[in-house]
């Protein structure tokens, strides 16, 4: 493979990256608005025409390999069902998020008729059905299988629960004409996650069924199979950049923050075990490759949500930090309401650019606080005990920002610094002294697509094109 065309059918834009894999180097990039609601080929053709112009190829350009991912048409929407909220239900949610899904809702214990109606109203693309450790509780998994079997459900079901009941649950669903795929239990033993088989199965279902259902198969003559959801490609890139290959070392444990118009996603790679002496890990062990999605932290669609959570004072402090003009505080709520009403707006003046920086900074702070683990003190008669819930990211060596705010704003470092440890909140285990990089070329999806076919070249491409987030003024 000498050249590759890497495609991301995004919710807003269809992005193309032409790569010389052997060097490795980006040859050209182009994008055009995604047209999934009419004919996805229109947007793809427009982007490809622009790409060939930038390549200087008047007669068109052909790549040795074409690979694509997608978050168009709402991306991959899933519902996760488990037994205990903090255990198998949480494990199912982690598996779905790691597969690049937007988890609409998580259900625990036996589904009620009211919950089933709610679930059907969500119209998920896939349902991940888990419950019980291997040899443990069977009843809940079988009950929920019967509830889904007796419903007008059309979405395929990925079964990842108690192996002692999974075959019976599969038979119940298949007997009712439902599409069902059986995979390994997401939690075979208490406290042990096993999410990779479920992630792989979800990806396979996505490729075989969901791509067709969303009309993306129209583009397959040009781009081949749509391999995975875009967030899964970004998580694959994160894992590869962290680990490296035998020929090219990685960057070590890392955190990627993806700020978008509707959500802010965080991806972390690392074991996340306690780094401080005397701290005991409680709850589920965090997955090595972890993704969280904050659906209330988008800087366009959900800008009002950020304001409601953070308050005007918190947002305004970053307006002042950026521009040094207290007058920018006036009219903040009205301006944010206008932003929500015009989600395609590109900043046209200093005020609008400053507002984007402030909203993104607060979104990063909240998203990483939710993603990172935390320490809690438990006061006992014989002294104080410290427990850790979630992932310790304090020793993460690299933090990468991706999304439009990082690609186009020269003050993006101010946004990314929101991911760092804050001495005023020592219980939040965020990175303390990492190197900060920004994905100025939107290449992380491309790195993830190349990860399996050309991993060493993909790592080298990432190192070449991830930019150091320089302090303002440099």
Domain span at 381: 241-468
Of residues 149 and 220, more confidence is placed in: 149
- In this prediction, residue 339 has a pLDDT band, given cuts at 50, 70 and 90, of confident
pLDDT of residue 474: 41
Closest to 402 measured CA to CA, from 346, 339, 465, 316: 465
CA 438, 343, 41, 156 torsion-angle sign: positive
Helix (H) or strand (E) holding 30: strand 25-33
Same domain? 295 vs 429: yes
Q: Is residue 235 included in any domain, yes or no?
A: no
**Cα distance between residue 237 and residue 458, in whole Å:** 8
More confident: 38 or 461: 461
* pLDDT tens, residue by residue, 238-262: 999 999 999 999 999 999 999 988 8
Residue 233 sits at φ, ψ, to 5 deg, of -65, -40
Give 287-296 pLDDT, tens digit per residue.
Answer: 999 999 888 8
Torsion of CA 49, 55, 59, 63, to 10 degrees: -90
- Do 354 and 413 lie in a common domain? yes
Q: Is 29 helix (H, G, I), strand (E, B) or coil?
A: strand
Given a cut of 60, whether residue 329 has pLDDT beyond it is: no
In a domain, 442, yes or no: yes
Relative to beta strand 76-81, strand 126-129 is parallel
- Give the separation between CA 426 and CA 447, rounded to whole angstroms: 34
Strands (E), 146-249: 157-159, 180-182, 226-229
pLDDT band at 330 (very low <50, low <70, confident <90, very high): low
Of 383, 398, 389, 421, nearest to 467 by C-alpha is: 398
Those residues whose C-beta lies under 8 Å from the C-beta of residue 433, and which sit 6 or more positions away, are none
**Do residue 87 and residue 53 come from a single domain?**
no
Same domain assignment for residues 284 and 139: no
Instruction: Give CA torsion, residues 292, 295, 301, 305, to 10 deg.
Output: -110
pLDDT in tens, 180-219: 999 999 999 988 899 999 999 998 888 777 777 777 777 7
Same domain, 57 and 82: no
* Angle at CA of residue 357, ends 241 and 264, nearest 5°: 50
Q: For strands 383-389 and 374-380, give the pairing.
A: antiparallel
pTM: 0.87
Assigned domain for 108 exists: yes
Q: What is the CATH number of the domain that holds 183?
A: 3.40.50.360
Residue 230 lies in a domain: no
Bridge partners (DSSP) of residue 105 are 79
User: How far is residue 420's CA from residue 466's CA, in Å, rounded to a whole number?
Assistant: 19
**Averaged confidence pLDDT in the chain:** 89
Q: According to the model, what pLDDT value does residue 322 have?
A: 55
Q: Pick the closest to residue 355 from 341, 334, 377, 382 (CA basis).
A: 334
Structural domain count, the chain = 3
End of a domain among 156, 190, 224? 224
Cα 227 vs. chain centroid, distance in angstroms?
16
134 shares a domain with 39: no
In this structure, the number of other CB atoms found within 10 A of the CB of residue 311 comes to 11
Q: Could you say which DSSP state residue 111 is in?
A: P
DSSP 8-state class, residue 77: E
* pLDDT for the residue numbered 101: 86
pLDDT at 325: 55
Q: Is residue 234 part of a domain?
A: no
Q: Does 59 or 165 have the greater pLDDT score? A: 165
pLDDT attached to residue 296: 87
Give yes or no for residue 56 having a pLDDT over 70: yes
Examine the domain organization and report whether 203 and 281 are in the same domain: no
Residue in this structure with the two tokens 């002042």, named with its chain if needed: 320
pLDDT of residue 60: 66
Q: The tokens of 127 are what?
A: 């349902």
The string of pLDDT tens digits covering residues 10-36 is 877 889 999 999 999 999 999 998 887
The DSSP H or E segment spanning 27 is strand 25-33
> Looking at the structure, do residues 328 and 287 belong to the same domain, yes or no?
yes
Q: Do 387 and 309 fall into the same domain?
A: yes
* Identity of the highest mean pLDDT range in 83-92, 157-166, 275-284, 308-317: 157-166
Domain match, 100 and 63 both: no
Both structure tokens of 5: 């065309």
pLDDT of residue 328: 52
CATH number of the structural domain spanning residue 20 = 3.30.420.40
Residue 322 in domain: yes
Tell me: do 385 and 253 sit in the same domain. yes
pLDDT of residue 473: 45
Q: Where a domain ends, among 199, 224, 249?
A: 224
Q: What is the pLDDT of residues 404-434, one digit of tens each?
A: 888 887 888 999 999 999 999 999 999 999 9
The answer on 251 and 395 residing in a single domain is yes
Mean pLDDT across 87-100: 88
**Residue at 232 is within a domain:** no
What interhelical angle do 113-122 and 139-149 show, nearest 10? Answer: 60
101: left (phi over 0), alpha (psi -120 to 50) or beta: beta
Q: Is residue 380 part of a domain?
A: yes
CB 462 within 8 A of CB 237: yes
pLDDT higher than 80, residue 59: no
């Amino acid at each position: 493979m000498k050249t590759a065309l890497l495609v991301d059918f995004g919710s807003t834009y269809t992005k193309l990256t032409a790569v010389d894999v052997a060097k490795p180097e980006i040859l050209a990039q182009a994008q055009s608005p995604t047209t999934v609601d009419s004919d996805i080929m229109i947007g793809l053709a427009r982007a490809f025409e622009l790409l060939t112009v930038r390549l200087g190829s008047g007669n068109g350009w052909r790549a040795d390999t074409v690979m694509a991912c997608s978050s168009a048409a709402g991306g991959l929407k899933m519902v996760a069902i488990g037994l205990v909220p903090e255990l198998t239900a949480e494990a199912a949610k982690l598996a779905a998020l790691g597969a690049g899904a937007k988890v609409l809702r998580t259900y625990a214990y036996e589904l009620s008729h009211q919950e089933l109606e709610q679930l059907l109203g969500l119209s998920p693309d896939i349902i991940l059905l888990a419950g019980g450790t291997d040899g443990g509780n069977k009843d809940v998994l079988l009950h929920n299988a019967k509830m889904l079997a007796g419903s007008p459900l059309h979405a395929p079901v990925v079964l990842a629960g108690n192996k002692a009941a999974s075959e019976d649950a599969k038979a119940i669903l298949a007997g009712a004409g439902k599409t069902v795929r059986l995979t390994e239990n997401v939690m075979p033993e208490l406290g042990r996650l096993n999410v990779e088989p479920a992630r792989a199965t979800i990806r396979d279902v996505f490729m075989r069924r969901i791509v067709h259902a969303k009309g993306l198969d129209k583009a397959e003559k040009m781009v081949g199979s749509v391999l995975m959801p875009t967030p899964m490609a970004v998580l694959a890139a994160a894992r590869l950049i962290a680990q490296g290959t035998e020929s090219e070392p990685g960057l070590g444990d890392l955190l990627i923050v993806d700020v978008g118009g509707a959500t802010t996603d965080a991806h972390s790679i690392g074991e996340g075990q306690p780094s401080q002496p005397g701290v005991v890990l409680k709850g589920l062990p965090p997955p090595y490759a972890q993704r969280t999605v904050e659906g209330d932290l988008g800087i366009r669609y959900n800008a009002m949500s950020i304001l409601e959570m953070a308050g005007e004072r918190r947002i305004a402090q970053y307006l002042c930090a950026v521009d040094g003009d207290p007058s920018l505080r006036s009219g903040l709520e009205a301006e944010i309401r206008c932003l929500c009403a015009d989600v395609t707006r590109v900043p046209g003046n200093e005020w609008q650019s400053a507002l984007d920086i402030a909203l993104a900074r607060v979104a990063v702070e909240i998203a990483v606080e939710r993603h990172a683990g935390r320490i809690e003190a438990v006061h006992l008669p014989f002294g104080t005990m410290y427990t850790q819930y979630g992932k310790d990211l304090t020793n993460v060596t690299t933090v990468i920002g991706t999304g439009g705010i990082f690609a186009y704003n020269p003050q993006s470092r101010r946004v990314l610094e929101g991911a760092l440890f804050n001495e005023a909140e020592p219980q939040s285990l965020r990175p303390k002294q990492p190197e900060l990089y920004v994905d100025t070329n939107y290449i992380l999806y491309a790195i993830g697509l190349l990860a399996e076919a050309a991993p060493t070249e993909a790592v080298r491409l990432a190192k070449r094109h991830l930019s150091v987030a320089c302090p303002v003024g440099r």
